[in-house]
Structure 1
Amino acid sequence: MPRTVHLAVYDTLADWETGHATAWLARSGFTVRTVGTAADKPVTTIAGTRILTDLSLDDLRPEDSAMLILPGADLWDAGDDLAPFAAAARRFLDAGVPVAAICGATAGLAREGLLDDRAHTSAVSFYLAATGYAGGEHYVDTDAVTDGDLITAGPTEPVAFAREVLGKLGAFDGAKLDAWYRLFHDSDPAAFEELNA
């Protein structure tokens, strides 16, 4: 399996949503590369942080990746500018390569038809219902959902999102994954020792 994870980046990206996942993937030996509409083109996050893209979306190939991570962004609800990223998610899922989407990116996947037949979550069910998608019966009101190769989460659940990503890619498993989650979600001091044992 490739050890490169691709993080989609675009203007208005929600900074807080993928930091736990990407940082701990990197600490676990994965390489995180940014992918945008064009290589070497900077994007500006909601916080005003500028990120330089490593790779163009046109050059992104599922076979070169362990996972595609799609953060939320205001642009997911402001038109079709990010639709090419949802189309890339389709290519990844069709190739059997995992996709993880949080917040507004779940609406992009809904518009692409990728949530019609998969268990999923988001901010709230009526947010996705507003897209006109056909997957409402598969909506699960929980922190994060993994269905096969697809992970979804709402905007207030970056730690649960990261737990699913880290588990899916085997960065942590079993007791270590549980300890990681208890440390960062529950602030359980005992989990620190378990994680670093």
Structure 2
Amino acid sequence: MFTIYVYVLDTLADWELGHVISELNSGRFFKKGAQHVSLKMVSYSREPIHTMGGLTIVPDCLINDIVVSKTSMLLLPGADTWNDPKHVAVIEKASEFLTLGAAVCAICGATAALANFGLLDQRPHTSNGPGFLEMVSPDYNGQSFYIDKPSVAENNLITASCTGALLWTKHIIEYLDVFQSDTLESWYKYFSTGEPQYFFALMQTLPSEKG
């Protein structure tokens, strides 16, 4: 069973997590035999956090409770508060994940937090456009590894821009291998285009209840 640790912090960008946590939590499009996925909201304290959209989230656990293993994944959403020193502990944990070969998935402002810690200097990655990381992370030295795409998946690091949440979700689901490949392709095409034929194609890929 995969444990997905979702780091929550004040001003969290709600839309960046919408697709990924809803699909992993519901399992509605999981393939037959896919392992159960456990989502845990983790933070630096037990106090509720308030998202950019005004939602209140009560963390399930603390950073020290994170178990770093190949069956764990760390999701780091964007937020306006990543510069607060209290978030350094989770970036240190992200470093442990990457060193072990466990997955770290960062989007928007969280990529800047990784860049500040030097974790993008030798790994292919993306962020909010060329020049963004240089602007917000003076010690960033990963320019030669920057790829100008909405989301980049390279081994156990999956990064995205603030507008790349859908592709980021696709990469994460692909990494976890919980969808059939045709389900994932139809899912992505439907949500990225809104064309109804992809919805029906998606439905046709799902395992039969009678099976």
Fold shared by both chains (TM-score > 0.5): yes
The count of residues paired between Structure 1 and Structure 2 equals: 194
Q: Which residue of 2 aligns with 1:51?
A: 57
Residue 69 of structure 2 aligns to a residue whose secondary structure is helix
Q: Distance in 1 between matches of 2:165 and 2:200?
A: 22
Q: Which residue of 2 aligns with 1:10?
A: 9
Structure 1 counterpart of 2:132, from 127, 134, 141: 127
Structure 1 counterpart of 2:156, from 149, 153, 164: 149
Structure 1 stretches of 4+ moved >3 Å: none
TM-score of the superposed pair, with normalisation by structure 1: 0.93
Shift, 1:95, TM fit = 1.7
Shift, 1:173, TM fit = 4.1
| Structure 1 gaps, min length 5 | none
Q: Which residue of 1 aligns with 2:92?
A: 87
Q: Which residue of 2 aligns with 1:20?
A: 19
Shift, 1:158, TM fit = 1.2
CA shift digits 1:23-77 (9 cap, x unpaired) = 1111224221100012x3211111121100001001111128531100000012x
Question: Is residue 89–residue 99 contact of structure 1 (8 Å, CA) maintained in 2?
Answer: yes
Q: Which residue of 1 aligns with 2:108?
A: 103
Greater Cα radius of gyration, structure 1 or 2 = 2
The one-letter code of the counterpart of 1:101 is A
Residue 10 of structure 1 aligns to a residue whose secondary structure is coil
Question: Is residue 11–residue 50 contact of structure 2 (8 Å, CA) maintained in 1?
Answer: yes
Residue 152 of structure 2 aligns to a residue whose secondary structure is strand
Residue 33 of structure 1 aligns to a residue whose secondary structure is strand
Question: Is residue 121–residue 139 contact of structure 1 (8 Å, CA) maintained in 2?
Answer: yes
Residue 35 of structure 1 aligns to a residue whose secondary structure is strand
